[in-house]
Amino acid sequence: MNILKDALLKAGLKPTQQAKAPKDENHREHIPKKKLTETVVHQEQRNFCEECSQVRPDVEFYAHKNPTSEAEWICLRCADQLQILDVCRRTAQSDVSIKRMFRRGYGATVRDIPITPRSKNAGPVDGNR
């Protein structure tokens, strides 16, 4: 046995060290994950118009009775085209209304809708109306 070992050493092969106990193939280290529900608020502001299916900065919730549309989250342009009055608007959550740039083309613009930014401790956001 020593003769073979000496021959392999002369050929340039090095002896390996005794391997430690092999790891279990299915063993994974436990990595603690952040709780996403506490750190990230999904859909704090709605910006998808259900009428024209576009992402717009001026989408608001309208409680209207217009028979030509079933959409509730409507952008400013679509609300003017559908001739929905601004008294049917229930939110002032869009970027345009927060910056006080919300102007209606059809009818008067209501200014009395309170703008209440959501706090970090607010309840769940209902994005699936």
Q: Which among 45, 54, 78 is positioned nearest to 64, based on CA atoms?
A: 78
Model confidence, pTM: 0.56
Query: pLDDT for 86-110, tens place per residue?
Result: 999 988 888 888 888 888 888 888 8
**Confidence (pLDDT) at 23:** 63
Check residue 2 and give its pLDDT.
83
Question: Residue 126: which pLDDT band, with cuts at 50, 70 and 90?
Answer: low
Distance CA 71, CA 49 (A): 8
Within the chain, residue ranges assigned H as helices are 2-11, 36-39, 76-81, 95-98
